[in-house]
Amino acid sequence: MARDAKPEAEVAEVAPPKKSKKLLIIVAAALVLVLALGVGGIIIWKKMHSAQEADDGEVATEQVKSGKKKGAKEVAPVYVALDAFTVNLVPETGDQFLQLMISVEVEDSHVGDKLKMYTPKLRNDVMMLLSGKKASELITKEGKETLANEVRGLMNGILDPGAKGSEGPVREVLFTSFIIQ
């Protein structure tokens, strides 16, 4: 009899305890949730970067020019500040000089990077343009607006030689300091 009781005790110890199905359901639900969040994150990331990578085709060009995508918020403007320009003006009543600080509004950050690459050429051409001006031409509001348009056209010609007229990657030239002495 003693031998019969011992095997029953061993059998009881070897049998695995029953696991709750509740724990299995919770783990499965957590895995599904993590997977759904991961897929959603990847989809959102791809949508954000697809506009930047889509430089080919009319749709991408129109979206960048308008600064808006369907159902998206307006894109913040990108400004690039240039170092100060100091030039001698064409003499009218003795020596006169112009000290000018310019910020440029561009289409996007890629154009801003390109503008920084072309800075030496842009600065040279702007200096040449400025040094050919008279103080009397620049003192009026119309003179300043004309100068801003000339500088914008010059920059667009360098950054995008195929641009026509006022069209190009530079949207606006802004004077942050304008001193004639």
Give me the chain's average pLDDT, please: 80
pLDDT tier at 56 (50, 70, 90 boundaries)?
Answer: very low
Question: Does residue 30 carry a pLDDT above 90?
Answer: no
| 168 vs 118, higher pLDDT | 118
Q: Which residue has tokens 């031409």?
A: 137
Q: DSSP letters of 97-148?
A: EEEEEEEEEESSHHHHHHHHHTHHHHHHHHHHHHHT-BHHHHSSHHHHHHHH
Pair (120, 159) in one structural domain = yes
Residue 159 CA to residue 162 CA, distance in Å, equals: 9
| 163 vs 180, higher pLDDT | 180
Question: Does residue 162 carry a pLDDT above 90?
Answer: no
What is the average per-residue pLDDT within 48-72?
Answer: 51
- Is 25 contained in some domain? yes
- Is 155 contained in some domain? yes
- Is 29 contained in some domain? yes
Region of residue 20 (phi > 0: left; psi between -120 and 50: alpha; otherwise: beta): beta
Q: What are the C-alpha distances in Å from 45 to residues 23, 41, 82?
A: 33, 6, 33
Question: Does residue 146 carry a pLDDT above 80?
Answer: yes
Question: Does residue 148 carry a pLDDT above 60?
Answer: yes
- Is 5 contained in some domain? no
Q: How many domains does the chain have?
A: 2
- Is 9 contained in some domain? no
pLDDT tier at 20 (50, 70, 90 boundaries)?
Answer: confident
Predicted local confidence at residue 47, as pLDDT = 76
Residues 6+ apart with CB under 8 A from 101: 81, 82, 83, 84, 85, 175, 176, 177, 178
Q: Which two tokens stand for residue 175?
A: 């004077």
What tens digit of pLDDT does each residue of 67-123 get? 445 545 677 889 999 999 999 999 888 889 999 999 999 988 888 889 899 999 999
Beta bridge partners of 101: 177
Q: Which two tokens stand for residue 93?
A: 């009543």
Predicted local confidence at residue 61, as pLDDT = 45
Q: Which residues form the domain of 37?
A: 17-66
Predicted local confidence at residue 58, as pLDDT = 44
Pair (22, 111) in one structural domain = no
Pair (26, 59) in one structural domain = yes
Predicted local confidence at residue 174, as pLDDT = 95
